[in-house]
Amino acid sequence: MTGARRNPLRFWPQYVAVSPFFLLFAAFGLFPLAFSAWLAFHRWDGISPVTFAGFDQFRFLVADATFRKAVVNTIIIWIMATVPMLFMSLGLASMLNSVKRFRTLYQVILFLPSVTSIVAVVIFFKAIFDNQVGVVNQVLEAIGLSGVQWLNGYWTIKIVLAVIMTWQWVGYNAIIYYAGLQAISGEVYEAAKLDGAGPLRTFWSITVPLLRPVIIFTVVVSTIGGMQTFAEPQVLFGSNASINPNSGGPGQAGLTMVLYFYQQAFNNNNYGYGAAIAYGVFAIVAVFTLINWRITARAEK
Amino acid sequence: MAAHDTATVDRKGPSRPAPVQKGKSVRNAAKWAHLPMVVASLLLLFPFYWTVVMATNTNADYYATPPKVVPGTHLLENIASVLTSINFFGSMANTAIVAVSVTVLVLFFDSLAAFAFAKYDFPAKKFLFGLMLAFFMVPAQLSTVPQFITMINIGWVGTLQALIVPAAANAFGIFWMRQYISTSIPDEILDAAVMDGCGFFRQYFLVVLPVIRPGLAFLGIYTFVQAWNDYVWPLIVLINPDMLTLQVALSQLNVSRGTDYAVVMAGAVLAIIPLIVVFLAFSKQFVADSVKGAVR
Amino acid sequence: MNLSRRNLLLGSGLAALGAGALSACSTSAGGSGGSGGGSTSGLALWYWNGGLSDKVVEASKTQFPKDDIKPNKVGGDFKQKLQTTLTGGSFIPQITGVKGEDMPFFRSVADKFTDLNEFGAKDIAATQLAWKWAEAQTEDGKQLGFPIDIGPTATFYRADILEQAGLTSDPTAVAAATSTWDDFYAFGQELHGKVPASFPVPSLATVFQIIVGQLTNRFVGKDNTFTGGSDEMKQAWDTTVKAQALGINANAGQNLGPALAAGTIAMDLGAAWHALDISDAAPDTSGKWRIANNPVKPTNFGGSFLTIPSATEDKQAAFDVIKWILSTDNQGQAFTDATIFPADPAAWKLPALTGGDEFFGGQKTIDIFGPAGEKVPEQYVAASDSAVSAAYYNELTNVEANGKNPDQAWTDAVAAAKDIAQRQGVK
């Protein structure tokens, strides 16, 4: 800024163009971050006067095994949900691109889950994965297998959460990929065909590279969504709320970072510690941001 | 490109100037592709069927063994419970106001900023873009508490602008539109526009905006869905029970001591109908635009 | 329609006076924040679905036409909503419900509420249950809440399944046969042995909740010290996990509803209001359930209050409304409408309560819950209690769902609870 003191005026349209984001961000992003930082050095129950706590909250955070558990859970659930989902989305998108009839119908069907109320979605999956009377277990037993205690186990809880997230977002991502595929010129495929490339090769060496910006977009969005997983475990294990709210189910296997933050801040009225957790999450998310940044930077070339 | 230059997408395949034999195999492959699509569709639709089953039965049927698998006759009474328990239509109107406002603002602000970032060099651009990326992935819930306090201080608690204004521009959208603009708009077109004496904003409105409509369609759907489904922030900031959004109102059906699942599901069914209508209207435009964008 | 409502909001906001630095610019300082033409602020009453009788609330409008009562059923996380509203300083209701389990927290911020003693609550105290009354009382004697209902606990059981197992199904005999936890387990073992598909314990949390209620000290003592590692707590833990070792735990914590409907749960432990959970989840089992005294002694679980936030202007008017809504007769009405078990012992003598309950095979449930309500032991519950107790419930689910060693689970629970307690400012 200082080096180009006379220049900036010439670029006023560009500054005006980018200013809405930065103004809004200053008011509703930066200030809250700064306030959180201040809060992380204090104790506050949400109503009473705030008292200074020094580095206590961060000392607690470093020693907090439950927070570590929540971090691991979040990453595992994110991987289990995102990786298979994006592959399935890509597959569905190319199928959708190659069929000729019913495209609009398929699109509507693919889109529907993403606009369904999360509360209703989770109640549905809770019902079908019920340990005893769930449809999934009844089908398993009907074909001679034994039922699974879905909502009890460390891995099965994560599977259920991943299934919920996959169901809700697989079609949405497929539509985005499909729209990306639509933008790829047919000539490219004709050329590939003339070179004798098979469908798989065409897919890997033409479709995927050309879809790269779209794929990056979906990976970034899914990462952000995955790191913020909250409503799914909150609603899934919210029924015993009066005794032990938002603990993430048996073995706290469904306790995600944001759910833990919410529990500490809003259930336990420990806003100072909540702020410290927020910064812990921020640090972890920063690592993923760097990874994303690198991928993006490569795509720039 | 000529292959795409048809009125509807559906005719794209047959118009390919491919040899007859290859055309056949393409056509066969296309038919086979229906199989996974139908399987996926059934899997995706099953929960909706189940939602309808639950919405048309009583709460007790939810716990029955074996579970009810066919729709029942209690839909109207469940819907009646929804309408008496929550201000359904009021909250739907609020949700629509929020989702539409946010979407329109985001599309405008994000694409404008994206255009500047994609096609112009200006002092501190790298720094500003980096700053934006740096806060790219800060989970929104984490600043909930201070944001609530901000809203108290500016007197927006309980109002819809508390939902609309903070969401009016976002890093994801700018990032995505920048990608889109840098790949879909050739510099030559812009240079030509500059030669014609177009300034930054006229370039944006006359050249950029028409071309990026498919990109805006993605972002529009994404933003609309996010705004429509936003749950945590409205739950906290809309403290006036007369003024809620649909998600919060629906969660109110989820009562403290035992949930009446039948009523929640009936509410979910009601809530999704307008979205299906919107998407049906939107998707035609969406597909047509995608093709246009590819052609230009 | 929506826009005009917002204009009204702005209108009422202009008339409002800021109550402090934080709320100086907020739109409304205590109005119901909505309809009403902007002339009167009205009397906003917050409760949750099933928290009060809707009929009684509706009737209060005609009873107090001048007050312009505006009832609002607030859903979701009620405590969080009330707390943020009190912090926010706008849209604060004139009267609000507070759940029993949240009272310890709100008691710690007593200045946000009105001392009901100043408006005549003192005269009513003698007619109320002492232990319940004390729950909403601060150290210096301020009365923050007027009891709506109580949650005396008892054993719920399926008479048909007990008979199938060749056991007695008479409430007095069942209570006698299960008067200690050891007896209860022995009884349960016999039941489960004869009818293997049915269990006497729904989940370990159900048992632990009651046993902890029977202790002299909970997790945090009155002097704000951690008591979660005490000998009596260890005993409570050992008694609880014994149900797992004996194989009589249904482990239905994640799916109580289906388990109740399927008859997997033959015996259940819970508060009076738990009857509604059972009848909602398993209406087909109507007539088969009975109620008996739970082992050792009754405890209390839940039960709520009506309070007046200190921001309320006409506190006397608000208190008069509370007094009417929670009058003896209306508490009886609330029991009829929504099985809200009256906190006022006088209401127990009303026909609404003394009649038999069809769901419980015509049993007069008040004969169990009434005396239980009288005998609930007074117990100190700290504001940090629920946060600290979470560690124990987490480990109990580990024991029952994942087969964790109970002793290891105890060690981990105490360690985790100490951490939480420290974060909550417990010494």
Chain C residues lying within 8 Å of A245, measured CB to CB: 386
**8 Å CB contact between A159 and A73:** no
B140 with A282: Cβ contact below 8 A: no
Per DSSP, helices labelled H in A64-117 are 65-98, 103-111
- Alpha carbons A248 and A255: distance in angstroms, whole number: 4
pLDDT at B24 exceeding the cut of 60: no
Q: Among residues 244-273 of chain B, which lie with CB inside 8 Å of chain C?
A: 248-249, 251-258, 260
C208 or B273, which is more confident: C208
Does residue B59 have a pLDDT over 80? no
A261 touches chain C (CB under 8 A): no
Q: Residue C65: CB partners within 8 Å, gap ≥ 6?
A: none
Supply B3's token pair: 């292959």
**A251: distance to nearest CA of chain B, Å?**
23
- Are the beta carbons of B150 and A27 separated by less than 8 Å? yes
- Chains touching C (at least 3 CB pairs under 8 A) are A, B
Q: Does B175 touch chain A (CB under 8 A)?
A: yes
Per-position DSSP letters for B198-267, written without gaps between them? --HHHHIIIIIHHHTHHHHHHHHHHHHHHHHH--HHHHHH---TTS--HHHHHHHHS-SSS--HHHHHHH
Helix A103-111, helix B261-295: angle, nearest 10:
130
Residue C229 has pLDDT above 90, yes or no: yes
Inter-chain residue contact B137 with A27, CB threshold 8 Å: no
Cβ of A24 and B44 within 8 Å? no
In total, the C-beta contacts within 8 angstroms joining chain A to chain B are: 318
Q: pLDDT, tens digit, for every residue of C254-306?
A: 778 888 988 999 999 999 988 988 988 888 899 999 999 999 999 999 899 99
Residue of chain C nearest B63, judged by CA positions: C258
Q: How confident is the model at residue C29 (pLDDT cuts 50, 70, 90)?
A: very low
Using a CB-CB distance cutoff of 8 angstroms, which residues of chain C are in contact with residue B144? none
Convert the pLDDT of each residue in C118-138 to its tens digit. Answer: 998 999 999 999 999 999 999
Mean pLDDT (chain A) is 84
Q: Which residues of B touch C260 (CB under 8 A)?
A: 63
What's the full length of chain B, in residues?
296
pLDDT band at C170 (very low <50, low <70, confident <90, very high): very high
Q: Do B256 and C78 touch (CB under 8 A)?
A: yes
Question: Higher-confidence residue: C188 or C282?
Answer: C188
Contact (Cβ atoms closer than 8 angstroms) between residue C78 and residue C128: no
Q: State CA A84 to chain mean position distance.
A: 14
Chain C residues touching A64 at Cβ < 8 A: 419
pLDDT digits (tens, 9 = 90+) for A58-104: 999 999 999 999 999 999 999 999 999 999 999 999 888 888 788 88
Give the chain A residue nearest C398 (alpha carbons): A251
Asked whether the beta carbons of B198 and B207 are under 8 A apart, the reply is yes
CB contact under 8 A, B63 and C260: yes
What pLDDT was estimated at residue C277? 84
Q: Which residue of C has its CA nearest to B253?
A: C75
Pairing between β-strand A42-43 and β-strand A51-52 as defined by DSSP bridges: antiparallel
For C1-16, what is the mean pLDDT? 33
Structure-model confidence comparison of residues A107 and A170, the more confident one: A170
Identity of the residue numbered B74: H
Q: Which of A35, A42, A44, A47 to mutate to test the interface with C (most CBs of C within 10 A)?
A: A47
Q: Is B54 on the interface with A (CB under 8 A)?
A: yes
Average pLDDT over residues C95-103: 93
Q: Nearest CA to CA, how far is A166 from chain B (Å)?
A: 10
pLDDT digits (tens, 9 = 90+) for B233-242: 887 788 776 7
Q: What is the pLDDT of residue C40?
A: 39
For residue range C316-334, list pLDDT tens digits in order.
Answer: 999 999 999 999 999 999 9
Please choose, from the candidates C151, C187, C99, C171, the residue with its C-alpha nearest in 3D space to the C-alpha of residue C275: C151
State how beta strands C95-98 and C145-147 pair.
Answer: unpaired
Whether B165 has a pLDDT exceeding 90, the answer reads yes
Tell me if C90 and B157 make a contact (CB, 8 A cut-off).
yes
Q: Which of A49, A93, A36 is nearest to A281 (CA)?
A: A36
Query: What's residue A266's pLDDT?
Result: 82
Q: What is the pTM of this model?
A: 0.84
Say what percent of chain A tops pLDDT 90: 28
**What's residue A294's pLDDT?**
74
Task: Please name the residue of chain A whose CA is at the shortest distance from the CA of residue C108.
Answer: A48
Alpha-carbon distance C324 to B121, whole Å? Answer: 71
